[in-house]
């Protein structure tokens, strides 16, 4: 039995779910999110908790996955998801242009404009070097953060670039210059 699949999902007050075919629509105070449910997996509510059940052991491989996807949807509509990025480097910065575009200055000959998908918000601190990406869909938040990080990945020699706030970097030694 899947250890993750067996764990019940707490359903906070104000969160409703509806199963339609192979998707579940979770609705809460922050909005609506849909998650996929594998074939042979069912959801049932027992005492304010959501239990993920499987029909046979053939669904063992997707039991924990389905539970994790539904949990991510429930957590997203109640608390939301957040990723933080730091921009390190002289002259490197980001600024919000309008409501749906982030403009990065990362040492290239041109500024880079990144349009934000619907449901994603970005907050930039006054120093313009710290970004907070928030939303209710965990996959979307993570993908936007990864796309922004890929604009200028952290350099192991100078430690410059765009990185996650909790990311640890190992600084490499450069050339020694011995003749």
Mean pLDDT value across residues 97-113: 92
Mean pLDDT value across residues 97-126: 92
More confidently predicted of 145 and 177: 145
Judge whether 3-78 and 81-164 match in fold: yes
Residue 128 is encoded by which pair of tokens?
Answer: 């313009």
The model's confidence at residue 177, banded by pLDDT at 50, 70 and 90, is low
pLDDT tops 90 at residue 179: no
Which of 41, 120, 43, 40 has its CA nearest to residue 74?
Answer: 43
Domain spanning 3-78 has what CATH number? Answer: 3.90.930.12
Which pLDDT score is estimated for 134?
95
Convert 84-97 to b/e letters by CB count within 10 Å (16 or more is b). Answer: bbbbbbeebebebe
pLDDT tops 80 at residue 2: no
Structure confidence by residue, pLDDT tens digits, 48-61: 899 999 998 888 88
In CATH, what is the architecture of 81-164? Alpha-Beta Complex (3.90)
Domain ranges of the chain: 3-78, 81-164
Which pLDDT score is estimated for 167?
84
Q: Mean pLDDT over all residues of the chain?
A: 90
The model's confidence at residue 116, banded by pLDDT at 50, 70 and 90, is very high
Sheet-wide strand order for 112-115: 93-97, 101-105, 112-115
pLDDT tops 70 at residue 1: no
Which pLDDT score is estimated for 26?
93
The answer to pTM > 0.85 is: yes
- Residue 81: Cβ within 10 Å count: 19
């Amino acid at each position: 039995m899947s250890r993750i699949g067996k764990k019940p999902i707490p359903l906070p007050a104000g969160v409703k779910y509806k199963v339609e075919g192979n998707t579940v629509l979770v609705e809460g105070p922050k909005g609506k999110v849909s998650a996929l449910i594998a074939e042979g997996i069912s959801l049932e509510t027992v005492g304010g908790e959501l239990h993920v059940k499987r029909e046979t052991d053939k669904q063992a491989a997707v039991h924990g996955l389905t539970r994790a996807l539904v949990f991510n949807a429930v957590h997203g509509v109640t608390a939301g998801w957040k990723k933080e990025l730091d921009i390190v480097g002289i002259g490197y910065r980001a600024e919000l242009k309008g409501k749906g575009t982030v403009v990065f200055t990362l040492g290239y000959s041109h500024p880079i404009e990144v349009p934000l998908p619907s449901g994603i918000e970005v907050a930039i601190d006054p120093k313009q070097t710290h970004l907070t990406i928030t939303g209710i869909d965990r996959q979307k938040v993570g993908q936007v953060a990864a796309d922004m990080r890929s604009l200028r990945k952290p350099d192991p020699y100078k430690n410059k670039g765009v990185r996650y706030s909790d990311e640890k970097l190992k600084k490499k030694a450069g050339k020694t210059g011995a003749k």
